């Protein structure tokens, strides 16, 4: 499954009021390309903390569903956060992991234990009530449907192909702090 196909399947299924948090790297770049209408926060660095950031946002805004688009490298950096989220009772948080089993932005090096790690099993073993994996678009569509129909936390690992995802030539005209302020203004306007 192409990364862009997985991203499109997510975009087709989101509610207009969903808030999307996007981890750094190739996951960020594919979501930028889709120009989805949902309010989106691009989490950038520090690597390994996007799930915690999304959890904090979910706790602060229980009236909104928070969908984290996560990379497997980012999640593997801090698997303990799955235990934290399982205990946090933030029912409005969902996670879709783009799993290509390598550090795409870092140069395509493999993750440790690439091909043998199951984020579904890790999530379930961490206390998540529901988790799934999808290896093609048909499975992705079905598991994303279930993820978004649920009333509690859930995690789907989407196995995507390893594809080059180069840095953009231009970092863009705004800083992370300016993007953060813009996100907060729109969040306030949407109350």
Partner 1 sequence: MSVAAQNAERIVAALTRAGVTVAASLPDSWLSDVIDRIDAEGTIRHVRVTREDDGVGICAGAALGGERAVLVCQNAGVLLSANALAGYGLHHQLPFLVLAAYRGSYEDRFYYQMYKGLVTEAVVEGLQLPLHVVEGIEQVGIVEEAMRQAFLARRPAVVLLRRAALLGDGRQAS
State how far the alpha carbon of 141 is from the alpha carbons of 20, 92, 134, 154, in Å. Answer: 18, 20, 8, 15
Nearer to partner 1, 31 or 41 (CB): 41
How far apart (Å, rounded) are the C-alpha atoms in residues 178 and 174?
Answer: 6
The site string for partner 1 over 77-116 (x = CB under 8 A, - otherwise) reads -x-xx-xx--xx----------------------------
Nearer to partner 1, 4 or 49 (CB): 49
Decide: is 41 part of the binding site for partner 1 (CB under 8 A).
Answer: yes
Place of tokens 């205990």: 87
Decide: is 73 part of the binding site for partner 1 (CB under 8 A).
Answer: no
Q: Do the beta carbons of residue 42 and residue 29 sit within 8 Å?
A: no
- Buried-exposed string 2-36: b where 16+ CB fall within 10 A, e elsewhere: ebebbbbbbeeebeeebbbbbbbbbbbbbbeeeeb
Nearer to partner 1, 59 or 141 (CB): 59
- Give the footprint of partner 1 on residues 149-188 (CB under 8 A): 176-177, 180, 183-184, 187-188
**Segment lying near partner 1 (by CB under 8 A), choices 5-13, 73-81, 102-110, 150-158:** 73-81
Decide: is 122 part of the binding site for partner 1 (CB under 8 A).
Answer: no
What is the smallest separation between the CB atom of 21 and partner 1, expressed in angstroms? 8
Q: What are 34's strand-pairing partners? A: none
Decide: is 39 part of the binding site for partner 1 (CB under 8 A).
Answer: no
Nearer to partner 1, 80 or 108 (CB): 80
What is the smallest separation between the CB atom of 9 and partner 1, expressed in angstroms? 25
How far apart (Å, rounded) are the C-alpha atoms in residues 98 and 123?
Answer: 15
3-state helix, strand, coil in the chain (%, to 5): 40, 20, 40
User: Footprint of partner 1 on this chain (CB under 8 A)?
Assistant: 41, 44-46, 48-61, 78, 80-81, 83-84, 87-88, 176-177, 180, 183-184, 187-188
């Amino acid at each position: 499954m192409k990364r862009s196909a997985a991203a499109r399947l997510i975009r087709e299924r989101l509610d207009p009021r969903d808030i999307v948090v996007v981890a750094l790297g190739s996951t960020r770049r594919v979501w930028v390309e889709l120009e989805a209408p949902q309010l989106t926060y691009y989490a950038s660095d520090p690597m390994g903390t996007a799930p915690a950031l999304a959890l904090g946002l979910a706790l602060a805004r229980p009236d909104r569903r928070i969908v984290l688009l996560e990379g497997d490298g980012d999640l593997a950096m801090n698997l303990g956060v799955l235990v934290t989220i399982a205990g946090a009772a933030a029912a409005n948080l969902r996670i879709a992991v783009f799993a290509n089993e390598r550090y795409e932005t870092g140069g395509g090096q493999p993750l440790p234990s690439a091909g043998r790690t199951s984020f579904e099993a890790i999530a379930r073993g961490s206390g998540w009530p529901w988790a799934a994996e999808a290896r093609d678009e048909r499975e992705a569509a079905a598991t994303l449907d279930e993820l978004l129909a649920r009333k509690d936390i859930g995690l789907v690992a989407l196995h995507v192909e390893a594809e080059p995802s180069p840095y953009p030539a231009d970092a863009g005209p705004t800083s992370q702090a300016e993007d953060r302020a813009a996100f907060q203004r729109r969040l306030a306007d949407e109350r």
